[in-house]
């Protein structure tokens, strides 16, 4: 995975990705220390695939990988202090302190005090992308999804699948596209349309909340258009 498991000796959780050999993100997830092992939090629709993919690399290691969607529930909260919840584990979001806190519950579904839309609005305001909404799995490099800016890549760790491409992008500064925050004069469409300068496509819109949103943009073309007053 892209991040260094040794980080968990000094912090409760980390953010990471599992890549294709070509360096594209297949899965994004959190790794959390837990009794007897680790919990991995990913999108509910991605959990079975992540467990299956990790099992490919287990070989003869004495490890058990289980898909536990039915057992755990996740809650996100934000504020200066951690929420007082009867949870298995509560941890600060390792991507950004401004994102707040995440809690893993073992048991029945938690009745939320806010909706998932409220969380999306919170992360959009902070320019925090989410896989499947702001970039497509299998189609984005970690740098394009801002993993290098959000503590999702360990550049000093040992080898991992796709590392050569990620390292090359880091040291050659060859990142042409990134997810950035955008704003419109009116409410933005939720259909993830292309973003164009004239007839030229320079990116794609992702998550939106009213007039605010996130978009994967070709930075050079966007800057060129701004310089031209387009």
pLDDT by residue (tens digit) across 126-174? 999 999 999 999 999 999 999 999 999 999 988 999 999 999 999 988 7
Cα distance between residue 23 and residue 27, in whole Å: 12
Predicted confidence (pLDDT) per residue in 185-227, tens digit: 999 999 999 999 989 999 999 999 999 999 999 999 999 999 9
Whole-structure pTM value: 0.92
N residues, the chain: 230
Residue found under tokens 């609005």? 121
What single DSSP character describes residue 210? Answer: T
- Given a contact cutoff of 8 angstroms between Cβ atoms, the answer to whether 114 and 139 are in contact is no
Please count the other Cβ atoms lying within 10 Å of the Cβ belonging to residue 34.
14
Beta bridge partner(s), residue 156? none
| pLDDT of the residue at 4 | 97
Phi-psi region for residue 164, left (φ > 0), alpha (ψ -120 to 50) or beta? alpha
Beta carbons within 8 Å of 58's beta carbon, 6+ residues apart: 65
Cα distance between residue 46 and residue 138, in whole Å: 12
pLDDT band for position 68 (50/70/90)?
confident
Cα distance between residue 117 and residue 209, in whole Å: 8
Task: Please report, in angstroms and rounded to a whole number, the separation of the first and last CA atoms in the chain.
Answer: 40
Average pLDDT, the chain: 92
Q: Coil, helix or strand for 177?
A: strand
User: Which class for 115: exposed (0-12), middle (13-18), buried (19 or more C-beta within 10 A)?
Assistant: exposed
Distance of CA 60 to the CA centre of its chain: 30
Strands 194-197 and 101-106: unpaired
Cα distance between residue 106 and residue 103, in whole Å: 10
| pLDDT of the residue at 98 | 95
| pLDDT of the residue at 112 | 63
Q: Coil, helix or strand for 207?
A: strand
Closest Cα partner for 41 from 52, 33, 32?
32
| pLDDT of the residue at 111 | 64
């Amino acid at each position: 995975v892209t991040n260094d498991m040794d980080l968990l000796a000094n912090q409760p959780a980390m953010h990471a990705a599992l890549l294709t050999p070509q360096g594209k993100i297949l899965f994004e997830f959190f790794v959390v220390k837990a009794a007897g092992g680790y919990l991995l939090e990913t999108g509910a629709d991605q959990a079975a695939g992540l467990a299956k993919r990790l099992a490919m690399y287990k070989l003869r290691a004495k490890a058990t990988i289980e898909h536990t969607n039915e057992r755990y529930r996740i809650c996100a909260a934000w504020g200066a202090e951690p929420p007082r919840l009867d949870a298995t584990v509560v941890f600060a979001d390792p991507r950004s302190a401004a994102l707040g806190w995440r809690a893993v519950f073992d048991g029945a579904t938690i009745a939320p005090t806010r909706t998932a839309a409220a969380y999306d609005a919170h992360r959009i305001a902070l320019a925090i992308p989410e896989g499947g909404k702001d970039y497509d799995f299998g189609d984005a490099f970690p740098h394009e999804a801002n993993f290098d800016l959000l503590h999702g890549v360990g550049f000093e760790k040992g080898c991992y699948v796709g590392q050569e491409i990620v390292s090359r992008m880091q040291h050659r500064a060859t990142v042409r596209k990134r997810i950035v925050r955008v704003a419109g004069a009116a409410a933005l469409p939720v259909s993830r349309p292309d973003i164009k300068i004239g007839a030229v496509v320079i990116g794609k819109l992702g998550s939106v909340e009213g007039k605010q949103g996130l978009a994967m943009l070709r930075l050079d073309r966007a800057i060129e258009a701004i310089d031209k007053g387009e």
